[in-house]
Structure formats: C-alpha cells, structure tokens
C-alpha cells in the first residue's frame, strides 16, 4: 500500500531532455516521462516546480470565492453594471488554475508540456481581456469616457488577445501546423533558440498589459486638472502597477537564480516570485476596480457607455472560443506526430519477431 504513495526522486539538469531545462535551475527536476499519478504525488514532494504549482493553485480558490460572492450576493445576472467585474473575476480564476495545471502535468512528456503551456498562455491572454473589459467599464478617466478610444477599446483588446495567444504559442514551436514532422518538438524555437522564444513570450505578455493600462497610466501619472478621476482607488492602482512591473522584471531576468545557479532550485527562484507578485498584483487590481465601481457608479451610469452584453460578456465568450481554437490548431501537429511515432514503433515490434524466425530457419 505504501508503494502507491512513494514519491518520485528528483533529477539534475543533465539527466532530463533539453526541452525540460529551466534557466539556472540545476536540480529538483521530475522524471520526464512521469505518469499523471506521479505528477500529482509530486505536489507533496519538494521539487523545483512544487511552489510554482501551489502559488497559483491556492489563489484560484480565493478568486473563485470572490467571483461567487459577486454572482450570488450581488445578483450579477440582474445587474448589467456588474458584468465587467464578473468577466474580470472569471479571468482571475482561469489564469492561475491553467498555470498550476500546466506546471503539474508538464513532465508527462514533451508534447504534454507544450500543450499544457498553450492553455496557460491562452488563459493569460483571457486575463488581459478581462482587465480591458473592467477598465473600460470602471477605470477610464473622466476626460476619456465616451470618446472614440473608449468606444473601440474592448474591440482592440480582443484583437490583442488573439494575436498575443498566437505569438506566445508560436514562441514554443513556431508554426508547427505548417510542417507535420514526427521530430517537430526538437525543431522549433523552444529548443533551438531559447532566447528568441523567451523574447517573443515577454512581448506577448507585456504588450496587452501595456495597452490595457493606457487609460490607467494616463489617469494616475499624466492627467492634470479636472476630469482626472482622483479618488481612493488610485492608491490601490499604484500598488498594482508596481507589482505588475516587478512581475515582468522577474519573468524577463531570471533573478536571483541567474546570479547563483543551483542556489534557488527549490525555494526563491524567479518563477516562484513571479507567481507571488503576479497574484498580489491581481489582488490589488481587483480591489482597485471594485473601489472604482462603487465610487463612480452614479457618474458612470449617467455619462459613460452603457454596459451591455456586446462590450462585456460577449467579447469574453468570443475570446474563449478563438483562444481554444488557436490552442487546438497548435496542438494538432503534436498529437498527430505522437500517433505517427506510436504506429512506427508498433510496426517495428511486429517485424522483429518475423526476422528472428527467418534467421532461425
């Protein structure tokens, strides 16, 4: 019975394929062919992924609780003004859950790793759309409310979401649907050009955040005089912005482990800190938009673009459909290549016994 719960031993960077390598992380790797059970059991063993998983899995439940509070206690289905907040909170639940699942099952195979992170990237893009929807509804400075940029803001955010999902997925495998090759995993940016891959991913994550934050940056840093929306929520926005830039810095630089490779393999490496700062930033972002929603509700109801299905729930549903389609498009070549490899192995096994018989005759 105890053998069922025996935890897998860790591996060094030289014992796992290159596709599983993490910059400046030298040990604590899981077996690159782990079963689903092994992946789940590894949550209770200290590996270089353990805290990556828990730092996103636990916050998922916190954001889910906030979502349920809004939906059930504020009767969101009866109040369209709360729909942007529902979309945002839903995206806050999806992105840490997708991340924790991707990290948990990433060592089942190279293909499973790629597909898992495709969903992770799509979830982050959905979060960027959730931010755009809630900013459009509650955060725009008074001066910009109702203007042409405000009216087209969510539409542009949807386009950004699709483009950035494609860009982030292509950072792992290029555009594999153009080439059906059983060695596809070994021939694209993630393995051949890790720096280029990282740069594409940074752009894919940073661009939608910077676009979504244009009205916020103007409001808290540039706007002077009347119509600048100076209220108590601005302090919370400052906290969120600071943590967002710290999150991006950690993701891009791989500090502190780059300064001392092997010293932060299990606790304290940049991806763990990136997760913690990201979740804290999202928490302050949530508090800030809630404050804006309550404080500015009367004024926005009289002066802003009315909240409707077409500028809140509709774009969210469209984004989900397109993002899932993009993930499927990038995943199909990997799944097809896997099937081809299995068929070839079966053919080889069938030929081998016949060859033995002929040689014996």
Q: CB neighbours (10 Å) of residue 340?
A: 13
Into how many domains does the chain fold?
Answer: 1
pLDDT > 80? residue 84: yes
Q: Do 140 and 53 contact (CB within 8 A), yes or no?
A: no
What's the domain range around 65?
2-341
Residue 350 inside a domain? The answer is no
Residue 81 inside a domain? The answer is yes
Tokens of 268: 């304290």
Report residue 76's pLDDT band, with 50, 70 and 90 as the boundaries.
confident
Mean pLDDT of 276-304: 97
Residue 356 inside a domain? The answer is no
Residue 243 inside a domain? The answer is yes
Mean pLDDT of 189-216: 85
How many whole angstroms separate alpha carbon 33 and alpha carbon 21? 14
pLDDT > 60? residue 184: no
Mind giving me the DSSP string for 328-344? Answer: HHHHHHHHHHHHHHHHH
Q: What is the pLDDT of residues 317-334, one digit of tens each?
A: 999 999 999 999 999 888
Residue 27 inside a domain? The answer is yes
Question: Could you give the residue ranges of the DSSP H alpha helices within the chain?
Answer: 36-41, 50-68, 83-104, 110-134, 148-173, 189-192, 194-212, 214-217, 233-253, 270-303, 313-360
Residue 349 inside a domain? The answer is no
CATH number at residue 179: 1.20.1070
Q: Tokens 């909170």 correspond to what residue?
A: 89
Whole-number pLDDT of residue 334: 83
Residue 35 inside a domain? The answer is yes
How many whole angstroms separate alpha carbon 67 and alpha carbon 123? 17
Residue 24 inside a domain? The answer is yes
Whole-number pLDDT of residue 5: 43
Whole-number pLDDT of residue 191: 57
Averaged pLDDT score across all residues of the chain: 88
Q: CB neighbours (10 Å) of residue 121?
A: 29
Whole-number pLDDT of residue 222: 93
Whole-number pLDDT of residue 32: 93
**Percent of the chain at pLDDT exceeding 90:** 74
pLDDT > 70? residue 37: yes
Q: What is the pLDDT of residues 231-258, one digit of tens each?
A: 999 999 999 999 999 999 999 999 999 9
Mean pLDDT of 213-227: 93
pLDDT > 50? residue 288: yes
């Amino acid at each position: 019975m105890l053998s069922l719960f025996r935890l897998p031993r860790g591996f060094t960077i030289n014992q796992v394929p290159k596709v599983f390598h993490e910059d400046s992380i030298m040990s604590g790797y899981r077996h690159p062919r782990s079963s689903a059970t092994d992946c789940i059991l590894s949550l209770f063993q200290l590996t270089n992924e353990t805290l990556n998983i828990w730092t996103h899995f636990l916050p998922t439940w916190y954001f889910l609780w906030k979502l349920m509070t809004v939906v059930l206690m504020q009767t969101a289905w009866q109040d369209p003004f709360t729909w942007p907040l529902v979309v945002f909170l839903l995206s806050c639940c999806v992105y840490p859950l997708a991340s924790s699942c991707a990290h948990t099952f990433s060592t089942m195979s190279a293909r499973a790793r790629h597909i898992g992170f495709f969903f992770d990237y799509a979830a982050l893009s959905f979060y960027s759309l959730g931010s755009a929807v809630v900013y459009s509804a509650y955060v725009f400075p008074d001066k910009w409310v109702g203007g042409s940029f405000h009216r087209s803001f969510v539409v542009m955010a949807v386009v950004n979401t699709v483009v950035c999902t494609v860009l982030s997925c292509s950072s792992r495998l290029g555009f594999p649907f153009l080439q059906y090759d059983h060695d596809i995993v070994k021939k694209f940016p993630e393995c051949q050009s890790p720096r280029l891959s990282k740069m594409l991913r940074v752009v894919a994550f940073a661009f939608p955040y910077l676009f979504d934050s244009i009205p916020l940056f103007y409001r808290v840093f540039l706007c002077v005089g009347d119509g600048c929306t100076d209220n108590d929520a601005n302090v919370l926005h400052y906290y969120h912005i600071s943590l967002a830039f710290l999150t991006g810095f950690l993701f891009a630089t791989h500090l502190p482990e780059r300064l001392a490779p092997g010293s932060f393999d299990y606790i304290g490496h940049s991806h763990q800190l990136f997760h913690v700062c990201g979740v804290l930033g999202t928490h302050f972002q949530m508090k800030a938009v809630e404050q804006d929603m309550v404080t500015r509700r009367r004024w926005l109801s009289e002066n802003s673009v009315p909240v409707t299905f077409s500028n809140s729930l509709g774009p969210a549903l469209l984004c989900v459909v397109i993002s899932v389609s993009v993930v499927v498009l990038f995943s199909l070549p990997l799944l097809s290549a896997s099937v081809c490899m299995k068929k070839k192995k079966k053919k080889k096994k069938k030929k081998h016994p016949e060859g033995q018989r002929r040689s014996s005759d």
